């Protein structure tokens, strides 16, 4: 982020304390949770695990910490699906709505806790009938339909680990993830609805399945109605399996450290990492944060998180956190502008949503669409609104506050990562005075510090965000690659978890997140590595070399800018190359702009100068270019960039 932006952030003086009305019924007011956790964070987490989660066997040790490997609630046993379903039904809340589902075309489903449990029991048996058992991996590639939740909870119920792949990823990306995990079963759908049309999933899956030898069975949910090929013996319709499966599947106790899921995320190399999350600690972390960060009152609130289940936000704050807390929530299948730009606000009004959780990139898009869109609807049910995925700029924060929160909803700007499992830095809405653009403070139970280059703690000013002690939802490693786990997160600052984010502390000790400091881009809140896109580009037969940078973008946070050198004599146009990247990774990774250049700027030792390319892409003046092997390359690129911004 440019220095001017940092300065602007630090000049942000507006403060928003929680209102008396909000405080009067909030779970947390004042500092008691912070004080308790500061005394003994392990004892604090143990109390949360005890109060918020049901265990079939108590744990012996709260935390076993062999840096960088942690185990939580060791010796304890529990079942995640039991916690998300059975216990609510047993307590007499089976008739409570778990999910108000809204399909993009306007069809709806209302699913109670008792109904969701029944569906999960049946599907758990269906998976068992296909030979899935404890320790197996199951891939999930589905649209935002209730079956995605059913599939995840069914895996949890029988002790199989799920690996959900976002429906927007390409068949190649799906195949890579299936193969890395050696998954036995793939659960997909014919297609789903998006922007008024059916997008095919099964045909994509079929392409992937040509190179995934570990897959024995494929389960297909009927949603899009598009025609699909079903390979006999391997492919099964979900509804057929359900019709034949038996109804009862008691939840079996799982070890607290049993693998719950893998979720692949981009790192600084081309190969995505399978982030591992386990059972007891993860469930404790997401249940606790979902309850306190959103001030959830399960009896009266209607909660809505607009993420996709393909991302960690969907795992922790659509599936596990809300259901473990017995919340009623909305799940929406489609895009925010179908049929009109007010679709989300019409859903808030329709279901009287009280808690709304979305991403800054969405908020900036709503800003572009104009205030008349939310103004068409009664949003007075809202009482807490949240943000996740990237830094929220003060303008977007203020717009969210005024036009969605109508000036009286606390905003929780929540910082966390796929790796952290749950929210780490965030206000507590009844306890924290917020400042627009700041995620404020680490939650009770979380240790975070900013350090400088040398790992020295910074108490004011900028540096690198680190986490100082283990937490229950932390990743347990990278699937199949413990060395990469140590190297990526624990080697840069010994004894500390390095998040990869820059951060700054202001005079009042508020934390301001400043974006990634590594080669990971954040495009619309989605993590994509520069190397991944570069390898996709270079895999095109016409491309000799490629360099990719993330440039600041007013809507998407960052935009992908590629510089490409073609092989001698080769020709390819920009849109073909963009489509090639979509095919390799997925549409989210398509470069916004591709510049063709006879050469890339390199140091004399041959290293591509990304910083310089970022400066070019963002139209900044270049500093010293004397280390460049050939400075004329840059001059030419600059001229081209200036031209294209005039077009």
Number of residues that bind ligand WTA (CB under 6 A): 23
Q: Are 426 and 440 in contact (CB under 8 A)?
A: yes
500 binds ligand WTA (CB under 6 A): yes
CA–CA distance, 444 with 476 (Å, rounded to integer):
21
Question: Measured from the CB of residue 206, what is the shortest distance to ligand WTA in angstroms?
Answer: 28
Burial 139-164 (b: 16+ CB within 10 A, else e): bbbbbbbbbbbbbbbbbbbbbbbbbb
Beta bridge partners of 551: 559
- Tell me whether residue 238 or residue 288 sits nearer to ligand WTA (CB atom): 288
Q: What part of residues 300-339 is at the interface with ligand WTA (CB under 6 A)? A: 311-313
Question: Measured from the CB of residue 313, what is the shortest distance to ligand WTA in angstroms?
Answer: 5
Question: Measured from the CB of residue 384, what is the shortest distance to ligand WTA in angstroms?
Answer: 15
- 518-557 mask for ligand WTA (x: CB under 6 A)? ----x----x------------------------------
Span from 91-99, 141-149, 188-196, 385-393 in contact with ligand WTA (CB under 6 A): 385-393
Neighbours of 66 (CB within 10 A): 7
Sheet holding 355-358, edge to edge: 108-112, 97-102, 328-332, 302-305, 355-358, 384-388, 411-414
- Tell me whether residue 230 or residue 517 sits nearer to ligand WTA (CB atom): 517
Q: Are 218 and 236 in contact (CB under 8 A)?
A: yes
Tell me which of 153, 189, 513, 523 binds ligand WTA, using CB under 6 A: 513
Span from 120-128, 227-235, 329-337, 508-516 in contact with ligand WTA (CB under 6 A): 508-516
- 68-107 mask for ligand WTA (x: CB under 6 A)? ----------------------------------------
439 binds ligand WTA (CB under 6 A): yes
Question: Measured from the CB of residue 362, what is the shortest distance to ligand WTA in angstroms?
Answer: 13
391 binds ligand WTA (CB under 6 A): yes
Burial 542-557 (b: 16+ CB within 10 A, else e): bbebbbbbbbbbeebb
CA–CA distance, 279 with 39 (Å, rounded to integer):
26
400 binds ligand WTA (CB under 6 A): no
Span from 127-135, 231-239, 290-298, 499-507 in contact with ligand WTA (CB under 6 A): 499-507
Q: What are the C-alpha distances in Å from 510 to residues 15, 183, 392, 439, 461?
A: 11, 43, 15, 8, 10
Question: Measured from the CB of residue 426, what is the shortest distance to ligand WTA in angstroms?
Answer: 8
Neighbours of 410 (CB within 10 A): 27
- Tell me whether residue 391 or residue 405 sits nearer to ligand WTA (CB atom): 391
CA–CA distance, 21 with 318 (Å, rounded to integer):
28
Question: Measured from the CB of residue 274, what is the shortest distance to ligand WTA in angstroms?
Answer: 13
Question: Measured from the CB of residue 628, what is the shortest distance to ligand WTA in angstroms?
Answer: 30
Tokens of 158: 């029988």
Q: Break the chain down into helix, strand, coil percent, rounded to 5.
A: 35, 25, 40
Task: Single out the residue of 143, 152, 90, 163 nearest to residue 123, CA to CA.
Answer: 152
- Tell me whether residue 444 or residue 500 sits nearer to ligand WTA (CB atom): 500
Q: What part of residues 334-363 is at the interface with ligand WTA (CB under 6 A)? A: none
CB burial of residue 449 (10 Å; 0-12, 13-18, 19+): buried
Question: Measured from the CB of residue 515, what is the shortest distance to ligand WTA in angstroms?
Answer: 6
Tell me which of 121, 255, 390, 449 binds ligand WTA, using CB under 6 A: 390
Q: Which residues contact 61 (CB under 8 A, 6 or more apart)?
A: 71, 73, 74, 75
- Tell me whether residue 154 or residue 265 sits nearer to ligand WTA (CB atom): 265
Distance of CA 227 to the CA centre of its chain: 31
440 binds ligand WTA (CB under 6 A): no
Span from 15-23, 74-82, 168-176, 410-418 in contact with ligand WTA (CB under 6 A): 410-418
Question: Measured from the CB of residue 520, what is the shortest distance to ligand WTA in angstroms?
Answer: 8
CA–CA distance, 346 with 352 (Å, rounded to integer):
10
Tokens of 459: 């108490």
Q: What part of residues 124-183 is at the interface with ligand WTA (CB under 6 A)? A: none
Question: Measured from the CB of residue 398, what is the shortest distance to ligand WTA in angstroms?
Answer: 16
- Tell me whether residue 411 or residue 616 sits nearer to ligand WTA (CB atom): 411
589 binds ligand WTA (CB under 6 A): no
SS3 189: strand
CA–CA distance, 265 with 250 (Å, rounded to integer):
33
501 binds ligand WTA (CB under 6 A): yes
Span from 85-93, 328-336, 493-501, 621-629 in contact with ligand WTA (CB under 6 A): 493-501
For CA atoms 334, 337, 339, 343, give the dihedral sign.
positive
Residues in contact with ligand WTA by CB under 6 A are 265, 311-313, 388-391, 413-418, 439, 499-501, 513, 515-516, 522, 527
């Amino acid at each position: 982020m440019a220095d001017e932006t940092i300065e602007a952030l630090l000049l942000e003086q507006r403060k928003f304390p929680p209102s008396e009305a909000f405080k009067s019924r909030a779970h947390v007011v004042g500092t008691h949770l912070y004080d308790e956790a500061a005394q003994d964070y392990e004892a604090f987490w143990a109390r949360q695990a005890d109060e918020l989660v049901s265990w079939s066997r108590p744990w012996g040790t709260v935390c076993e910490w062999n840096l960088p490997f942690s185990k939580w609630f060791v010796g304890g046993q529990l079942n995640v699906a039991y916690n998300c379903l059975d216990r609510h039904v047993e307590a007499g809340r089976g008739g409570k709505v778990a999910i108000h589902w809204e399909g993009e075309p306007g069809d709806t489903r209302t699913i109670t806790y008792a109904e969701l449990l029944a569906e999960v029991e049946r599907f758990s048996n269906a998976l068992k009938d296909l030979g899935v058992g404890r320790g197996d991996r199951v891939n999930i590639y589905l649209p935002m339909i209730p079956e995605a939740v059913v599939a995840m909870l069914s895996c949890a119920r029988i002790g199989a680990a799920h690996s959900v792949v976002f429906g927007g990823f390409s068949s190649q990306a799906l195949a890579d993830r299936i193969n890395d995990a050696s998954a036995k079963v793939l659960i997909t759908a014919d297609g789903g609805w998006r922007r008024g049309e059916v997008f095919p999933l099964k045909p994509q899956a079929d392409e992937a399945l040509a190179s995934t030898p570990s897959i024995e069975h494929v389960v297909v949910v009927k949603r899009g109605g598009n025609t699909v090929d079903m390979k006999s013996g391997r492919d099964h319709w979900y509804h057929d399996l359900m019709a034949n499966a038996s109804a009862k599947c008691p939840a079996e106790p799982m070890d607290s450290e049993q693998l719950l899921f893998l979720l692949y995320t981009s790192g600084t190399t081309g190969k995505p990492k399978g982030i591992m999350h386990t059972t007891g600690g993860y469930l404790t972390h997401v249940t606790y944060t979902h309850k306190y960060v959103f001030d959830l009152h399960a009896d009266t609130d209607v909660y809505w998180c607009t993420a996709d289940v393909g991302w960690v936000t969907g795992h922790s704050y659509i599936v596990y956190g809300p259901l473990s807390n017995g919340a009623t929530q909305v799940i929406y299948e489609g895009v925010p502008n179908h049929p009109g730009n007010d679709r989300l606000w019409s859903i808030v009004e329709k279901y009287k949503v009280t808690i709304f959780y979305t991403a800054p990139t969405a908020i900036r898009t709503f800003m572009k669409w104009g205030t008349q869109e939310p103004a068409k609807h009664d949003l007075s049910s809202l009482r807490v609104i949240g943000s996740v995925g990237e830094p929220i700029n003060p303008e977007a924060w203020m717009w969210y506050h005024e036009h969605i929160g109508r000036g009286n909803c606390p905003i929780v700007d929540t910082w966390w990562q796929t790796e952290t499992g749950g929210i780490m830095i965030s206000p507590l809405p009844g306890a924290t005075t917020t400042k627009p653009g700041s995620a404020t403070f680490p939650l009770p139970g979380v240790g975070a510090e900013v350090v400088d280059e040398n790992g020295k703690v910074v108490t004011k000013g900028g540096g690198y965000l680190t986490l100082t002690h283990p937490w229950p939802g932390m990743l347990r490693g990278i699937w199949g690659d413990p060395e990469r786990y140590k190297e990526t997160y624990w080697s840069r600052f010994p004894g500390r978890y390095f998040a990869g984010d820059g951060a700054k502390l202001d005079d009042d000790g508020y934390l301001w997140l400043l974006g990634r400091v590594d080669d990971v881009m954040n495009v619309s809140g989605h993590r994509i590595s520069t190397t991944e896109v570069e390898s996709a580009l270079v895999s095109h037969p016409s491309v000799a070399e490629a360099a990719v940078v993330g440039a600041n973008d007013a809507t998407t946070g960052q935009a992908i800018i590629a510089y490409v050198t073609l092989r001698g004599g080769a020709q390819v146009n920009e849109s073909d190359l963009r489509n090639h990247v979509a095919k390799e990774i997925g549409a989210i990774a398509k470069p916004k702009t591709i510049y063709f250049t006879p050469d890339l700027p390199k140091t004399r030792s041959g290293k591509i100068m990304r910083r310089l390319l970022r400066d070019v892409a963002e139209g900044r003046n270049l500093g010293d270019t004397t280390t460049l092997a050939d400075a004329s390359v840059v001059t030419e690129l600059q001229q081209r960039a200036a031209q294209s911004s005039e077009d």
